[in-house]
Amino acid sequence: MAYTWSLIDVNLFDALCPHKYGNFKKSHVFQQYKKEDYIYFENDHSDKIYLIENGKVKIGYYTEDGREVVKAIHVKGDVFGEKAIIGEEQRDEFAVALSEVSICCLTVETLLSLMKDNQHFSLKIYKFIGLRFKKIERRLSILLFKDVKTRLLEFINELSEQYGAHCEHTGNYIIKHPYTQKDMASLLGTSRPTLNCLFNELKEDGILNYNRRAIILYKNVETLAG
């Protein structure tokens, strides 16, 4: 199976959620989804973007031979369905809840009104969309042309940028991330046993340690992948 992943540089939930803007409080509508509920399907009308208050959402599509391709796993604070902003009329992907999810649904009309009233806000949105597309393209290239271990190292580097922090007491770098091993395996296009073997190999090499919610990079490790 083939996969790509998408990480977001900033938490846009607070910036976008309509309760921040007095004229749009009526647009502040939350919807709840149970695990495995679909938020939208491929070919659904594309007229909303979604902001995750809590929970986890998988984005993907199916190939002609029925294989599932996972494009992204989004978590608290992330935005998805953003292609509606730039004129997408029908979804070319599905979105499904991986846990109980609370989502603020924002119509494209509302978002465009917010953008019209605030040029800085508008530039931030377009920058966000451009960066997301650029990252997906780059990571797809990595997925197609690099082995699983290299893909894992690249992914850990990205996690360290988004979720990592130095520990003053040990000098190590602690990455407290929201992904399970199943999530990581899906995003990296491999199996959980293979992923676990790679983590154990990196542990034995003295590069890192890990547990369910954190990856610990030892202080002598400056970078994992070029």
Per-residue model confidence as pLDDT tens digits over 133-187:
777 777 667 666 789 999 899 889 888 888 889 888 888 889 999 888 988 888 8
Distance CA 130, CA 144 (A): 22
Per-residue model confidence as pLDDT tens digits over 59-91:
988 888 888 888 888 888 888 998 898 888 999
- CATH top-level class for 146-217? mainly alpha
**What 3-state DSSP class applies to 207?**
coil
Q: Shortest CA distance to 96 belongs to which of 123, 68, 115?
A: 68
Instruction: Assess contact for 13 and 52: CB atoms under 8 A.
Output: yes
Q: pLDDT value at position 38? A: 97
Mean residue pLDDT of the chain comes to: 81
Tally Cβ neighbours within 10 Å of residue 12. 19
Single-letter code of the amino acid located at 9: D
Q: Which CATH superfamily is domain 13-144 in?
A: Jelly Rolls (2.60.120.10)
**What 3-state DSSP class applies to 210?**
strand
**What 3-state DSSP class applies to 68?**
strand
Q: Name the more confident of 85 and 4.
A: 85
Token pair belonging to 77 = 């604070």
Q: pLDDT value at position 44? A: 96
List the chain domain ranges: 13-144, 146-217
